[in-house]
Chain A
Amino acid sequence: MAKATKITNDIRRLRFDANEMTQADLAKAVGVTRQTIIAIEQGRYSPSLEVAFLIARAFGTPLDAVFQYPDG
């Protein structure tokens, strides 16, 4: 069972909304491997702030539209 982080994200939905952008395309835009994008999407890896901002930039959205941190 994967060790989930508290950080949630909407990357899958944002990729779908961005003309069904592939994980490989997003990985290339951000400069990480496709496996890292998969791990972030599945909540198995919390990216650095820099990668988080790069992901948000790739979708043209603010950071909190991509990543959320639950209250409490």
Chain B
Amino acid sequence: MNFHEKSNMAMLAIMIVVYGIYFGQALLSIVSAGVPPAEALAATNALMVVTVGAVTVLAIIAHIIIAVLAPSEADDARDERDKLMEMRGDQRGGVVMTIFALGALLIAMLDMPAYLIANTVLAGLVASEIVKGVSKMIGYRRGV
């Protein structure tokens, strides 16, 4: 595994776990508790910032560990294969992002609470990154 493959695996694991907790527990409990939209927006705003912050901190720690374990490979040099994986991942993730963007648009057009729009956009960003990560993982393992 080269540095980019390890980085991809780490980011995939971090995103699935952290955003899984956010969407699966935190957001679900707010929605199912029937909290008024204004309070729900404030609550999810705070949780969203904490979650994104947690992903960023964990990503930095993971990359430091990956670099320390294999210092000779810890550069950001990308060859043509890495770029191809990145490009294909971006294409597939872009499709997912588009679907979620249309969902957010529909929610806005139906005049639904703003926190649902914000969370649909976040879900789209997360889902597209996860699809991109899985695409890269399969590409690195199975070949392109």
Contacts and interface: CB of A to CB of B under 8 A. Distances in A.
Interface of A: 1-5, 31-36, 39, 42-45, 47-48, 51
> Chain A contact residues: over half helix, strand or loop, or mixed?
loop
B2 A2 contact: no
Nearest to A36: B81
B81 A39 contact: yes
13 contacts: A1-B142, A32-B80, A32-B81, A33-B77, A33-B79, A33-B81, A36-B2, A36-B80, A36-B82, A44-B144, A45-B144, A47-B80, A48-B80
Contacts, number: 43
A51 B80 CA distance: 9
B34 interface: no
Interface of B: 1-2, 5, 73, 77, 79-82, 140, 142-144
Contact of A44 (B2, B80, B82, B142): B142
A39 B143 contact: yes
- Top 4 nearest A-B pairs (CB, nearest first) are A44-B143, A32-B79, A35-B2, A36-B81
